Structure 1
Amino acid sequence: MVIDMADFKYEIKETIGTISESPKGWTKELNLVSWNGKAPKFDLRDWAPEHEKMGKGITLNTDELKALKDLLNQMEL
């Protein structure tokens, strides 16, 4: 799905998984997203049910995602 908004385009290349869902149906998802036709990055953010709206999020390249994974593995939960 390619979305063309006024200032940017994005395409969800791969849905990796859903972390949570709000009562209003918004989901916090980890996806592989191409922003403005650039190489896809890992993206963590809230999405409306049909991905027509999004909340603020973060994007990570592969090295950053690996570093985050290492940090999370070190945590005691």
Structure 2
Amino acid sequence: MADIKYEITGQFGKISESSKGWTKELNLISWNDRDPKYDIREWAPGHEKMGKGVTLTADELKELKRLLNEMDI
């Protein structure tokens, strides 16, 4: 499998942390030298390993925010 190049260009915050130190985070990431997108995924300490995640454009993130604001939580 080919290596995936990524650069974290913005860090917005930690959503949660597991007992093993992995953190679920919202970041802005450039994948393979493309324009950065918003990204939610788990990271090992130091960001040396990552889990599966969800990548969103700015418009998709705005729609997610709208949906979350409408929820009664």
- Alignment TM class, shorter chain as reference: over 0.9
Q: Does the residue aligned with 1:37 lie in a helix, a strand or coil?
A: coil
Q: CA deviation at 1:7?
A: 2.1
Higher helix share: 2
TM-score (norm 2): 0.96
- Residue correspondences, number: 72
Report what 1:27 is aligned to.
23
TM-score (norm 1): 0.91
Report what 1:69 is aligned to.
65
Partner AA of 2:45 in structure 1: P
Q: CA deviation at 1:8?
A: 1.4
Q: CA deviation at 1:51?
A: 0.3
Report what 1:42 is aligned to.
38
| 1:60 alignment partner, one of 56, 60, 64 | 56
Q: CA deviation at 1:55?
A: 0.4
Partner AA of 1:35 in structure 2: W
Q: Does the residue aligned with 1:7 lie in a helix, a strand or coil?
A: coil
- In structure 2, C-alpha distance between the alignment counterparts of 1:46 and 1:61, rounded to whole Å: 19
Q: Kindly report structure 1 stretches of 4+ aligned residues shifted beyond 3 Å.
A: none
Report what 1:11 is aligned to.
7
Coordinate RMSD, CA, aligned: 0.7
Q: Structure 2: state its 5+ residue gaps.
A: none
Q: Structure 1: state its 5+ residue gaps.
A: 1-5
